[in-house]
Amino acid sequence: MNSDAVNRLPARVFRLIVTGGGTGGHTYPALTAVRALQARLAASGRGLDVLWVGTADGLEARVAASEGIRFAEVATGKIRRSSNPLKMVSAANIRDMGRVPLGAVQARRIVADFAPDVVLATGGYVAVPVSLAARLCHRPLVIHEQTVRLGLANRQLARHATRFAVSSESTLSLLTESVRAVAVVTGNPVRPEVLTGHPEKAIQVLGLHGFDRSLPTVYVTGGAQGSAQINALVRDVMPWLLERANVVHQCGPANVAGLEPAVRALPGALAARYLLTGYVGPELPDVLALADVVLSRSGAGTIAELTALGKAAVFVPLASSAGNEQAHNARHLADAGAAVALLGEVTAEGLRQVVEPLLTDPVRRAATAERARAYGRPDAAERLVDVVLDAAAAGR
């Protein structure tokens, strides 16, 4: 860890503006970085004063409130993209774009008044006015990109960055020469608690005493709200899957009732190896530690966690993700043999074909997990803190 940059900072409280949000993929890496920065500064006897700038109705507002972080709101406009350029000229897009000048004025006032040592932007539309305000106010700007390819906001902002942190070596070749000169590969920050799970604790807390420990365990998740597509796939292969594995199926709170008839139809021996749950909360690290194979979407946060843990995964990308980034994330790992990607039309038969080798061949499963681990950066938050501190020290 870089202590030199900390020592080069003034003894006063370090002031940070963090911006980014709209989705968990932008919000939680920012929060993890803030926590890591706070711990780093505290170890040197320094304090941290954080202001989170975002939208009032975004996830970032709720996260900041729950963490006791001061929050400031700015107006922002969202561009609703379409493959048909004519459809982008919509009333909603025109209305939202009219909010951009207001957001820019608000952001400049906030940055000027707070006078941060650094602005850290993690993407999303709200990062645009705040990042531009940082440059106008001559404050160091660190931008973090979670995905292999640049998100729309970061693609526009990259040339303004003091430092441009990326999650993958593969991103470097996509950058312009000027941006590449200030780019640093940090990885995507992963919540440290995710890395500290215990398989036996999952068995005890979730009552998985009917699981056959001689079989691999599959963790199925479609995110906090679940995925209708993934739920239907698992339902259609359920008896077949349970003959070969134990399954923890996090289906989303609203989807439990729809899957219960399929569960009731299972023979007793198979039912004992299956847990249907709407939501996995504090026990998530233990469930991940127990899992041998994970079936999930392929958002940047999920990729970061599973590679940091070194998990064999089968990805079913969300087709409507911005810029088709989930398919790109999944393909990137699949091409390296570090995961399996189900792209295009996904069927139950297709799922059976790709999952079976991972379940029945321990050597293949272990090799896939090891390749995934090679892409993981469990110290990404600390690396990003290094970049933030270096940018602050250089900007003095």
Q: How many CA atoms lie within 13 A of 229 on its CB side?
A: 18
pLDDT in tens, 173-190: 999 999 999 999 999 999
pLDDT in tens, 102-116: 888 999 999 999 999
Q: List the structure tokens of 356.
A: 């079976």
DSSP H stretches of helix in 73-126: 85-88, 91-97, 100-114
Enumerate the β-bridge partners of residue 15.
49
Domains of the chain with CATH codes: 4-190+378-394 (3.40.50.2000), 193-374 (3.40.50.2000)
Enumerate the β-bridge partners of residue 164.
143, 183
**pTM beyond 0.75:** yes
Task: Choose between 84 and 131: higher pLDDT.
Answer: 131
Average pLDDT over residues 257-268: 96
Enumerate the β-bridge partners of residue 274.
247
Widest distance between CA atoms in the chain: 68
pLDDT in tens, 183-218: 999 999 999 999 999 999 999 999 999 999 999 999
Measured between alpha carbons, how far is 3 from 283 in angstroms, rounded to an integer?
A: 34
Measured between alpha carbons, how far is 295 from 215 in angstroms, rounded to an integer?
A: 16
Enumerate the β-bridge partners of residue 247.
218, 274
Measured between alpha carbons, how far is 295 from 249 in angstroms, rounded to an integer?
A: 9
pLDDT classification of 79: cutoffs 50, 70, 90: low
Task: Choose between 97 and 322: higher pLDDT.
Answer: 322
Measured between alpha carbons, how far is 19 from 189 in angstroms, rounded to an integer?
A: 15
Task: Choose between 161 and 78: higher pLDDT.
Answer: 161
Give yes or no for residue 37 having a pLDDT over 90.
yes
- Residue linked to tokens 């940070």: 16
pLDDT in tens, 339-390: 999 998 999 999 999 999 999 999 999 999 999 999 999 999 999 999 999 9
Stated as kind and residue range, the H or E segment containing 285 is helix 284-290
pLDDT of residue 102: 87
